[in-house]
Amino acid sequence: MRSVSIIGVGRTKFGEHWGLSLRELVTEAALKSIEAAKIDGKEIQAVYGGCMASGHFTGQEHIGALIADQLGLNPLPSTRLEAACASGGVALRNAYLSISSGEHDVVAVGGVEKMTEVDVGQAGFALGGAGDQETELFHGATFPALYALMARKHMEEYGTTEEQMAAVSVKNHHNGMLNPYSQFHREITIEDVMKSGYVASPLKLLDCSPLTDGAAAVILCETGKAKKLSDNVVEIIASAQASDTLALTGRKSITELMATKVAAKKAFEQAKLKPSDIDLVEAHDCFSIAEIMAIEDLGFFKKGDGGKATEEGKTALDGEIPINPSGGLKMGHPVGATGVKQIVELFWQLRGEAGQRQVKGAEIGLAHNVGGSGATAVVHILRKA
């Protein structure tokens, strides 16, 4: 299989974009990525787009064709991929495979979601479809409720505290303050989180990621060609995906995500690396407990130690293993775009272009993208070439 690298990225600011449509958001991110790659759009041979629920949120389906149309890329093949909140990561993986297999040399990957034009009830219904509609959503188990069950069990089994979960949000708000693309720009304290009100106990409002509009895009290229176009490329050295049961009731344990563990194991084997070789991580923190479980399941901390490690500052920008220097999903989660945004952040970090949130000496980064409550997990490892 051929080596694949990233030569350009782009994204929009995340937030509530009342004045921008879904097509305008994806166009903005895509044009930025093409400009950053310093290529002519005519060099692109295929498009892969991640989008979860545009029909529910905006009434617009057939996103693959929309993207190609908006960017003037017809008649190229353009495919929309859906894997709940892992839609962006799955789109990236399929684009990666299309180049590594030899089918294409230059491919554009996008992710987009516009979530704020419907009320909270409609949004909750749309997002609830990422779980098991018959056994969970039909009975009122929304995603805050599902992750609250995970959190409560994690607390019972390992002694994780609400304050430790709050520390995840405090850290990610701090990092997000340094990111001009974040949805929020304000510091919070443990006390702020604890007083923010329960959404589904033990998870409070400030333990949860927000509804967000936004888009992100990257340009992938066969590495040999990429190095002729740029002297500062970032190589994708591993791409892995795994699945688990859609409903929590089918799992042996709800304090870990088996799909994450399997995908991570495959990715580390592909890259011939171990967790201690990674310099920074963009992890899926749709809820604060999700980041705690992620850093355990990815192998950075022993199961049950994720909350304590966060509380002790081991996951801070200057910590043992910086987790979510971008601010993570807590600083904006347009679900179809999230997995691509993680790659954008790693690209900037590995090129030393992340500004105030730059992780010193970053050479290898890992992105972890989850669909639903863990039924899909995608892990990518990137290296400064």
Spatial contact of 344 and 220, defined as CB atoms under 8 Å apart: no
Alpha carbon distances (Å) from 287 to 64, 147, 355: 29, 7, 26
Neighbour-count burial of 353, counting CB atoms closer than 10 A to its CB (0-12 exposed, 13-18 middle, 19+ buried):
exposed
d(CA 225, CA 187): 43
CA–CA gap between residue 11 and residue 35 (Å, rounded): 12
Q: For residues 267 and 308, is the Cβ–Cβ distance under 8 A?
A: no
3-state secondary structure of 68: helix
CA distance 229 to 246: 42
Catalytic residue among 17, 51, 85, 286: 85
Are 284 and 378 in contact, with CB atoms under 8 Å apart?
no
Cis ω on the peptide bond leading into residue 202 (within 30° of 0)? yes
Q: Are 89 and 33 in contact (CB under 8 A)?
A: no
Active-site residue (options: 104, 173, 284, 333): 333
Q: Which of 365, 232, 341, 379 is nearest to 10 (CA)?
A: 341
Q: Please say if 85 is a catalytic residue.
A: yes
Establish whether 333 is a catalytic residue.
Answer: yes
Q: Mind telling me the catalytic residues?
A: 85, 333
